[in-house]
C-alpha cells in the first residue's frame, strides 16, 4: 500500500465500501447497534441494569467508537480493493522524505503553505466574528462535551489520529482525485471542500466558513502536491492544535 497502487478509476464497489466504512456511516451504525443491543449486552454479560443516563450516552459512545473503528476498516478496504489513495505519485523510499508519498519539494511547500494559509484563515474568521458576533459550531460543542465522559487517550485517538486519516482518504482521496489521474481540477477542490464543510453540520455563516474554509485549504494542499498525505499532515496539525486548546480550557 505504501508503494502506491496503479492509478485507476474508482468503481461503484470502491465508493460503496469507502462510504460504508467511513466514520460518518459507522457512527450511525454503532449508535443503532448500541441502542438495540446495549441493554441486552449489559444484562447478559456484565449483570448491569440499563439506565436512562446510559441511554443519553449512546450517541457519545456511538460517535467515538464508530470513528475509531473507521480507520482500520477503511485501510482494509483500500488494501483489498487496491484503491490508489496513498503515495499516488508512487515515490520510492529514496524519493520520499519523512513520510512515504511526500518529497522534499512537497515538504518545502507545506512549511510555507501551512502557516501562511492558516494565518489568513484565522484573519478571515476574526473579521467574520467582528461583523457577525461570536458563535461556536454545534460540532465543536459536541466534541468538547465528550471529554466529560470519554478518556482523554480515546479522544486523542479519535480527533488527532483517526479523523485526519479517515476523513482525508474520503474527502480528498476519493472526491478530490478522480483515481486515474494524478492532477485534479478546481471544481473538484470546491466540491470536496463544500461536502466536507456541510458534513460537519454548520448552522450559521461563521461555522460554514470554519468548515468549508478548512476544507478548501486542505484540498489545495493535496491538489498542489498531488498527494493525500499533504492534506493528512495539515489536518493532523490542525486537530492537534484544537485538541491542545480544548485540554487547556
pLDDT of the chain along its 249 residues, tens only? Answer: 888 899 999 999 999 999 999 999 999 999 999 888 877 776 666 666 666 667 778 889 899 999 999 999 999 999 999 999 999 999 999 999 999 999 999 999 999 999 999 999 999 999 999 998 888 888 888 888 899 889 999 999 999 999 999 999 999 999 999 888 999 999 999 999 999 999 998 889 999 999 999 999 999 999 999 999 999 999 999 999 999 999 997
H-type alpha helices, the chain: 12-20, 23-45, 52-81, 104-132, 138-146, 152-156, 163-168, 186-199, 205-225, 228-248
In a domain, residue 6? The reply is no
Give the chain's domain count. Answer: 1
pTM of the predicted protein model? 0.93
Give the C-alpha separation, 54 to 35, whole Å. Answer: 10
In a domain, residue 1? The reply is no
For residue 32, the enclosing domain spans 12-248
Amino acid at each position: 500500500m505504501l508503494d502506491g497502487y496503479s492509478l485507476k478509476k474508482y468503481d461503484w464497489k470502491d465508493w460503496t465500501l469507502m462510504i460504508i466504512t467511513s466514520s460518518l456511516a459507522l457512527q450511525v451504525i454503532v449508535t443503532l447497534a448500541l441502542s438495540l443491543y446495549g441493554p441486552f449486552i449489559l444484562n447478559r454479560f456484565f449483570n448491569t441494569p440499563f439506565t436512562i443516563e446510559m441511554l443519553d450516552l449512546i450517541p457519545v459512545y456511538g460517535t467515538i467508537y464508530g470513528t475509531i473503528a473507521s480507520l482500520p476498516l477503511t485501510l482494509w478496504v483500500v488494501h483489498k480493493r487496491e484503491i490508489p489513495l496513498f503515495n499516488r505519485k508512487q515515490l520510492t523510499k529514496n524519493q520520499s522524505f519523512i513520510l512515504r508519498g511526500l518529497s522534499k519539494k512537497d515538504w518545502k511547500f507545506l512549511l510555507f503553505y501551512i502557516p501562511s494559509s492558516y494565518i489568513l484563515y484565522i484573519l478571515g474568521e476574526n473579521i467574520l466574528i467582528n461583523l457577525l458576533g461570536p458563535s461556536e459550531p454545534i460540532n465543536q460543542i459536541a466534541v468538547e462535551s465528550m471529554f466529560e465522559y470519554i478518556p482523554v487517550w480515546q479522544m486523542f485517538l479519535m480527533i488527532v489520529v483517526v479523523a485526519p486519516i479517515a476523513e482525508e482518504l474520503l474527502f480528498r482521496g476519493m472526491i478530490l482525485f478522480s483515481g486515474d489521474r494524478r492532477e485534479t481540477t478546481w471544481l473538484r477542490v470546491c466540491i470536496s471542500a463544500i461536502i466536507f464543510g456541510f458534513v460537519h453540520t454548520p448552522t450559521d455563516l461563521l461555522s460554514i466558513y470554519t468548515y468549508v474554509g478548512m476544507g478548501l485549504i486542505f484540498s489545495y494542499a493535496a491538489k498542489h502536491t498531488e498527494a493525500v498525505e499533504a492534506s493528512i499532515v495539515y489536518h493532523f496539525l490542525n486537530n492537534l492544535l484544537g485538541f491542545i486548546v480544548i485540554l487547556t480550557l
